Amino acid sequence: MRLESNETEWRTPMPDLNVEQSSKAQWIYRCGLKGLCPKCGQASMYRKWLKLERKCPNCGLDYGFAAPDDGPAFFSLCIVAFPLTFFVVWLQVKYEPPFWVHLLTSFPLLGLGCVLPLQYIKGWLVASQYVNKATEAGTEKLWADLNARDASERD
């Protein structure tokens, strides 16, 4: 993998998908956490805060493959909500503060801590799906059967 330089920034082209895992992981984290296109690493993959573009404005990558679904929320809850909940319970048992203390501290920390990382986690998941060519395994026959049944019911 070689580096390309621009007068204002250094860019790393996407690694060949057959190279070692460490290069793939670096590319996934770089593009995913910055919200950049996983193919070219240049343009933003987001149209709005959590809404993906239809296609990359730089390289034309169609984001139709991206299906992070509830993944960002799951990871956000695991990383932030569960540990913070244990801390809040410990705080309550140990010091027994009044409820307003939790209203002013615990609930805002929990809300912001779960919402703020969503875009970074979604970018990481989309980049992972692209670089690893992730697809649902074993569902082709199921979808074909379901679509055939739906088509026959409409006729």
Q: Which two tokens stand for residue 134?
A: 């992730």
Whole-number pLDDT of residue 133: 86
Query: How many folded domains does the chain comprise?
Result: 1
Length of the chain: 155
Burial classification of residue 155, based on how many CB atoms lie within 10 Å of its CB (0-12 exposed, 13-18 middle, 19 or more buried):
exposed
> Is residue 154 situated within a structural domain?
no
Whole-number pLDDT of residue 33: 93
Pairwise CA distance, residues 25 & 11, whole Å:
16
Domain that holds residue 54: 4-130
Pairwise CA distance, residues 61 & 89, whole Å:
46
- The answer to whether 46 and 52 are in contact (CB under 8 A) is yes
> Is residue 150 situated within a structural domain?
no
Find all residues with CB under 8 Å of 68, minimum gap 6, and list them.
Answer: 122, 125, 126, 129
Pairwise CA distance, residues 34 & 100, whole Å:
37
- The answer to whether 32 and 126 are in contact (CB under 8 A) is yes
> Is residue 39 situated within a structural domain?
yes
Q: What is the pLDDT along the chain (155 residues), one digit of tens a residue?
A: 433 434 344 345 555 555 567 889 999 999 999 999 999 999 999 999 999 999 999 999 999 889 898 999 999 999 999 999 999 999 999 999 999 999 999 999 999 999 999 999 999 999 999 998 887 766 677 767 777 766 676 66
> Is residue 17 situated within a structural domain?
yes
> Is residue 153 situated within a structural domain?
no
> Is residue 120 situated within a structural domain?
yes
- The answer to whether 31 and 88 are in contact (CB under 8 A) is no
Whole-number pLDDT of residue 15: 56
